[in-house]
Each structure stands twice: as structure tokens, then as C-alpha cells.
Amino acid sequence: DIGDIVRGKDLYRGNSKEKDNLEKKLIEYFKELHKHLDQKTKNHYTKDDPYYYKLREDWWTANRAKVWEAITCKANDDDKYFRKTACGTGTSTHKQCRCIDKPNAGKGSGNVSIVPTYFDYVPQYLR
């Protein structure tokens, strides 16, 4: 759901004030990012003002594997994740298994075992 939050597509059902504050912060961050782009790239995203949804989508596509790595790199051995088996082997996952033996894992490679954000493009209400 982090991808949905970043991209402005989250079906947040909590405190609406918190959601509004989070959205304002994300707009601030992406506005700042937009300011530092080269002019051609900046022009590409200008029509997206003031929410920068396209920039946010592209940023997420480019950075989601790193976000997942940042979340899991300091996970403790007994921390849980919904996946119980490793890399299609039928054996239990080991620690913070990312199936590093699989080349080109991720979107478009047919192997989505490293970054579980392959759910990003399934509508949130279906997950």
C-alpha cells in the first residue's frame, strides 16, 4: 500500500485529517523534487501540477525496489511477512529472503519474487 500512498491512490479509511496531512506532505515533497528536474523533464510534469500524480507514479516505478529493500534490510530474523515459502521451492523463507539468485527480478521480468510491490497494479480493493 506504500505505492498507493505515494501515487495518491490509497483507499485510506482512517482519520481524514491524517490523510489530508499526508497528502499535503507528499505534494510538498514532489513539488520540491519537481523544482530540481532539468527543464525538459520539468515541462513533461508541469501539466500534472499541483498534485504531480505522473511524477509520483514514475518515481514509484523507479524506486519501489529500493523502498522495499530499505524496509526489509534491517528486519529481524523473526519478523513476519505474508509469504511463507521461498522462491517457488515449497520450503520456508529464510530470514528476509529476497530470492537474490533470480536474475532481473521485478516488474516486466516475469519474476516478482524480490519486490512484493507487484501488487501495485491490482486495484487496492481487490488485494
pLDDT score, position 92:
63
Residue 81 has pLDDT above 70, yes or no: no
The phi, psi pair for 124, rounded to 5°, reads -55, -35
Going from the C-alpha of 64 to that of each of 45, 47, 89, 92, 116, the distances in angstroms are 20, 24, 25, 25, 9
DSSP helix, strand, coil percent of the chain (3-state; round to 5): 50, 5, 45
Q: In terms of residue numbers, what domain contains 95? A: 76-119
Sequence-ordered list of residues with C-beta below 8 angstroms from that of 50, at least 6 positions apart, any chain:
27, 31
Claim to verify: residue 5 and residue 59 sit in the same structural domain: yes
Claim to verify: residue 70 and residue 104 sit in the same structural domain: no
pLDDT score, position 86:
56
In a domain, 23, yes or no: yes
Claim to verify: residue 33 and residue 93 sit in the same structural domain: no
How many domains does one find in the chain?
2
Quick: pLDDT tens for 46-61.
888 899 999 999 999 8
Residue 30 has pLDDT above 60, yes or no: yes
Give the mean model confidence (pLDDT) for residues 15-41: 93
Question: DSSP letter at 113?
Answer: S
In a domain, 108, yes or no: yes
Claim to verify: residue 82 and residue 69 sit in the same structural domain: no
Claim to verify: residue 51 and residue 65 sit in the same structural domain: yes
Give the mean model confidence (pLDDT) for residues 99-117: 50
